[in-house]
Homo-oligomer: A and B are copies of this chain.
Amino acid sequence: MAGPRGEYRKSADRRAQIIEAAFDVFSRGGYTATSVNEIARAVGMTQTGLLHHFAGGKLALLEAVLDSRDKKAENTLEGRTGRDFLAGLIEISRAQAGQRGVVQLYTILSAEATDPEHPAHDHFRERFERIADAVTAALEETRDAGGLRADVDPRTAALSILAMTEGLELLWLNGFDVDMAEDVRRFIGTYLIDPL
């Protein structure tokens, strides 16, 4: 495959700059209170110039920001199954501790988006579903390999693991001395015959 032509590359670089600026602005103000104009100013463009790159406006900007973060988590988990996938969740929790801004953005947006009328509602709903399904599958694989405790329902456990992860992030953001990765590791361990 040939490399991108000059114009295309310039446009891709610009998009990446805009996503980075959008990330910063959303991180401070959340979604509702942030304007496209504010993001345009942060990257030294006019609103019209910015909308040339993101015709979908503020929602498209948000989705680009969210996708770029989710891509990193997916890379960590790619090709992993069963216990190894569960260990990947702990690695992701450990990486969060160095990314306060992005964790704060996610926490604020996922809370705002609980409103069914919020433009990112479906995005977050589907994202949580996808994670819950993937963790359920990993627990089922662990069960099939004889590693899950007998009384554990994989779906219920997956939702609890997701709830615990989200809740720990909230407490950590509030300045509590919680070790998110260690607490997630210990919690997942309560479902397993051999702790992680």
Asked if A59 is at the interface of the complex by the 8 Å CB criterion, the answer is no
> Interface of chain A, helix or strand or loop or mixed?
helix
Q: How far apart are the CA atoms of A27 and B132 in the complex, in Å?
A: 27
Asked if A111 is at the interface of the complex by the 8 Å CB criterion, the answer is yes
The contact of A108 among B104, B112, B125, B174, by CB within 8 Å, is: B112
Residue tally, chain A, CB below 8 Å to B: 37
Asked if A91 is at the interface of the complex by the 8 Å CB criterion, the answer is no
B108 with A114: CB separation less than 8 A: yes
On chain B, the residues within 8 Å of A160 by CB distance are 164, 168, 183, 187
A173 with B32: CB separation less than 8 A: no
The contact of A110 among B111, B163, B168, B176, by CB within 8 Å, is: B111
The contact string, 1 if C-beta is below 8 Å from chain B, for chain A 57-79, is: 00000000000000000000000
On chain B, the residues within 8 Å of A32 by CB distance are 29-30, 32-33
B162 with A163: CB separation less than 8 A: no
The contact string, 1 if C-beta is below 8 Å from chain B, for chain A 107-118, is: 110111011000
B114 with A173: CB separation less than 8 A: yes
Q: A30-B32, A33-B33 are in contact. List 11 more A-B contacts (CB 8 A).
A: A30-B30, A32-B32, A104-B115, A107-B114, A108-B114, A111-B111, A111-B170, A163-B167, A163-B168, A166-B171, A167-B167
